[in-house]
């Protein structure tokens, strides 16, 4: 289950070298080439899934468990003060490489990095309408 022209398929399967910080049968975890902060890593499944919708549930579970372990390890080893776990699905959501991946971003009190959004100001009625749209 590899995709011919997918760079992350090639990296995950070792055809293109990467700075690997973890590997098992299902996943390779590499350092991002354009990190948001020191230690920014990407969890890549070795098989090709374009996004979270395609990722089988069992792999999704394993990916989160791995993120939990590596997040704790990076905080300890890099002396980070916390970390963000991010995962983008679709161009509108900022996805640029269409092979599922999770960003593990160690954060430091003085890193001056922004991983943020402009907070909205919906009314109570608007929130209720959205709630209905999703639940019903």
Supply the residues annotated as catalytic. Answer: 101
Question: Any contact of residue 92 with ligand 5GP (CB under 6 A)?
Answer: no
By a kind-dependent CB cut-off of 5 to 8 A, residue 60 interacts, out of Zn ion, ligand 5GP, none, with: none
Beta carbon of residue 99, minimum distance to Zn ion (angstroms, whole number): 3
CA nearest to 27, candidates 5, 6, 11, 16: 11
Instruction: Report how far residue 55's alpha carbon sits from residue 7's, in angstroms, rounded to the nearest whole number.
Output: 18
**Number of helical (H) and strand (E) elements in the chain, helices listed first:** 3, 5
Question: Any contact of residue 115 with ligand 5GP (CB under 6 A)?
Answer: no
Measured from the CB atom, is 28 or 48 closer to Zn ion? Answer: 48
Measured from the CB atom, is 42 or 67 closer to ligand 5GP? Answer: 42
Q: Which residue is nearest to ligand 5GP (CB)?
A: 34
Contact in structure between 30 and 42 (CB atoms under 8 Å): yes
Instruction: Report how far residue 85's alpha carbon sits from residue 102's, in angstroms, rounded to the nearest whole number.
Output: 7
> What are the residues binding ligand 5GP (CB under 6 A)?
7, 18, 30, 32-34, 42, 88, 94-97
């Amino acid at each position: 289950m590899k995709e011919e022209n997918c760079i992350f398929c090639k990296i995950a399967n070792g055809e293109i070298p990467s700075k690997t910080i973890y590997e098992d049968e299902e996943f390779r975890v590499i350092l991002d080439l354009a990190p948001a902060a020191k230690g920014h890593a990407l969890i890549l499944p070795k098989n090709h899934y374009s996004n979270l919708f395609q990722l089988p549930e069992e792999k999704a579970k394993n990916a989160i468990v791995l993120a939990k372990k590596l997040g704790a390890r990076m905080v300890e080893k890099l002396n980070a003060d916390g970390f963000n776990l991010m995962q983008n699905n679709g161009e509108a959501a900022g996805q640029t490489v269409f092979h599922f991946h999770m960003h593990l971003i160690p954060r430091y009190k003085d890193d001056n990095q922004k991983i943020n959004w402009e907070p909205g100001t919906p009314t109570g009625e608007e929130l209720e309408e959205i709630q209905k749209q999703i639940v019903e």
